[in-house]
Amino acid sequence: MSTVARVKRISIPQIRNRKGAEPLVCLTAYTTQMARRLDPHVDLLLVGDSLGMVVYGFDSTLPVTLDMMIAHGAAVMRGAEHACVIVDLPFGSYQESPEQAFRSAARIMAETGASGVKLEGGAEMAETVRFLTQRCIPVCGHVGLMPQAVNVAGGFKATGRSEEEARQVMRDAQAVAEAGAFAVVLEGTLEPVAAEITAALPVPTIGIGASAACDGQILVSEDVFGLFSDFTPRFVKRYADLGGQISQAAEAYAQDVRARRFPGREHCFLPKGASRTGS
């Protein structure tokens, strides 16, 4: 019998109980290998519908399908042992009705093994959040700048700039929290508004472009590591330039192949007894 102890995964109640405590560390992941690299260092991995832009090259998150989210969610679960894994409900998979949302969320939970789902929307989605949580599906809310509403908003714009916008974001955050969300993502929200919402909510706020006042932070991993160079939001801090390193490595590889420096004898399968250093 194996004596190797299994790592205990961070649970939804543990995430919820971090309100006002040590900040939650969250990043996105879409693949098994990325999940393995991030897992020891984060509390929560989000399989975000941002994969539509980062992985598939779409202009927005709107073309992402439920099947895409399930495939990537399952891949991340194969690479994560420690972090709580949450999967986005993509556009069109939950807005029609609470029943539609339940069917979509139930598929994600059953086919990926993830701990919960995230959905965008405020007061108008409170009934859906309540419907899901009452049926044993943990929900993370998402208010403020909502990428799935990019066409209504007229682009990716920060919110909370006017008193009415600030009040609306507060109402939205409170509505989904009261409906049972275990945490709420605040995206693109002005710092004073994010701080006020964080102080008012009984559950953790997870900021992305919403200041250090939040109970945790999340960023798109490819932005953090310099792997997505099309556009870098102002709220992102790059901790590496892996994209540049990949380009340099590809250039060096191409030069070696064209000059017949690669593969060398040390990379080849040779007859028994043949020298790997000889000519």
Which residue out of 96, 124, 163, 187 is catalytically annotated? 187
Binding-site residues for 3-methyl-2-oxobutanoate, please?
A: 49-50, 88, 118
State the alpha helices, DSSP H only, in the chain. Answer: 12-16, 32-38, 51-54, 66-79, 98-112, 126-133, 150-153, 163-178, 191-200, 221-224, 242-258
Nearest to 250 by CA among 35, 258, 221, 265: 258
- Burial (CB < 10 A; 0-12, 13-18, 19+), residue 48, is buried
81 is catalytic: no
Distance from C-alpha of 253 to C-alpha of 249, rounded to nearest angstrom: 6
Cis peptide leading into 23, omega within 30 of 0? no
Q: Which residues are annotated as a binding site?
A: 49-50, 88, 118, 120
Binding residues for Mg(2+): 49, 88, 120
Residue for token pair 């190797």: 4
Query: How many CB atoms sit inside 10 A of residue 56's CB?
Result: 12
Name residue 144's beta-bridge partners.
187
Q: Please tell me the distance from the alpha carbon of residue 83 to that of residue 73, in angstroms, as a whole number.
A: 13
Using CA atoms, how far apart are residues 199 and 202, in angstroms rounded to an integer?
8
Residues sharing a CB contact under 8 Å with residue 187, sequence separation 6 or more, in sequence order: 142, 143, 144, 145, 146, 147, 207, 208, 209, 210
Token pair belonging to 64: 């992402």
Catalytic positions: 187
